């Protein structure tokens, strides 16, 4: 597949539980974006959920959504392209961060999470892979596919099985949620501190 909608797909930049993320370019405007494509139509609820959650978020430390389509095969969402790498790759490259850098990153993550909580959402899969950096080192939290409204009773576990019996989520993150069930904001703070 070379195109999806009005976007030329350039390179795969990430892969998650239910989708692939591509670096893409709008055919006419030539702007670079990230396009998340479903691997399997059975995971449509996760893609729709991520689109709805991101649509309600407007914060510098959360990836912005630009659009998408459920009518296309496969369905997709379009987000801002964040090209400064992930916290995971930064930690792998450097091993240990300087205190000032670690505190700046932590403050940005907490700012994005605090905003998300204020808007009534929890991420449920905060981990170094889902913390990206822009070219100018601004933290961008991504992958809200497991995100839920705080009042949603299904927030308690970050892990779930799909129709095929495959585990979706992150085991370490799910363990935190299952041990502090009933306190979603406290779980998110605990997980952020563990990063």
What pLDDT, in 10s, does the model give residues 66-107?
999 998 888 999 999 999 999 999 999 998 999 999 999 999
Share of the chain above pLDDT 70, in %: 76
Q: Give pTM, 2 decimals.
A: 0.77
- Range from 40-49, 89-98, 169-178 carrying the lowest mean pLDDT: 169-178
Distance CA 76, CA 3 (A): 12
* Domains, the chain: 3-80 (3.30.200.20), 87-194 (1.10.510.10)
Q: Please give the pLDDT value at position 181.
A: 47
Confidence class of residue 41 from pLDDT cuts 50, 70 and 90? confident
Distance CA 24, CA 22 (A): 6
Q: Mean pLDDT, the chain, as a whole number? A: 82
**Can you tell me whether residue 137 is helix, strand or coil?**
coil
In the sheet that 76-80 helps form, which strands lie side by side, from edge to edge?
3-4, 7-15, 19-26, 32-38, 76-80, 65-69
Confidence class of residue 168 from pLDDT cuts 50, 70 and 90? low
- Range from 28-32, 76-80, 126-130, 153-157 carrying the lowest mean pLDDT: 153-157
**Can you tell me whether residue 130 is helix, strand or coil?**
helix
- Look at residue 187 and tell me whether its pLDDT is greater than 90: no
Q: Please give the pLDDT value at position 15.
A: 86
Task: Please say whether the dihedral angle defined by the alpha carbons of residues 99, 179, 129 and 3, taken in this order, is positive or negative.
Answer: negative
- Range from 67-71, 132-136, 181-185 carrying the lowest mean pLDDT: 181-185
Please tell me which residue in 83, 125, 136, 162 is annotated as part of the active site: 125
In this prediction, residues 144-167 reach a mean pLDDT of 59
Verify whether residue 143 is a known catalytic residue.
no
- Look at residue 163 and tell me whether its pLDDT is greater than 60: no
């Amino acid at each position: 597949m070379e195109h999806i909608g009005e976007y030329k797909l350039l390179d795969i930049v990430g892969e998650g539980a239910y989708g692939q993320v591509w670096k893409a370019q709008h055919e006419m405007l030539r702007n670079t974006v990230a396009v998340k494509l479903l691997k399997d139509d059975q995971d449509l609820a996760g893609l729709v959920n991520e689109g709805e959650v991101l649509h309600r978020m407007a914060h510098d430390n959360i990836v912005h959504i630009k659009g998408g389509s459920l009518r296309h095969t496969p369905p997709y969402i379009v987000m801002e392209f964040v090209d400064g790498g992930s916290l995971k790759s930064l930690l792998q490259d450097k091993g240990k961060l300087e205190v000032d850098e670690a505190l700046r990153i932590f403050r940005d993550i907490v700012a994005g999470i605090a905003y998300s909580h204020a808007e009534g959402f929890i991420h449920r899969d905060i981990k170094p892979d889902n913390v990206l950096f822009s070219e100018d080192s601004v933290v961008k939290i991504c992958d809200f596919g497991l995100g839920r409204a705080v009042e949603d009773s299904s927030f308690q576990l970050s892990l779930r099985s799909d129709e095929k019996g495959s585990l979706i989520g992150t085991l370490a993150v799910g363990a935190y949620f299952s041990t502090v069930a009933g306190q979603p904001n406290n779980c998110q703070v605990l997980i952020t501190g563990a990063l």
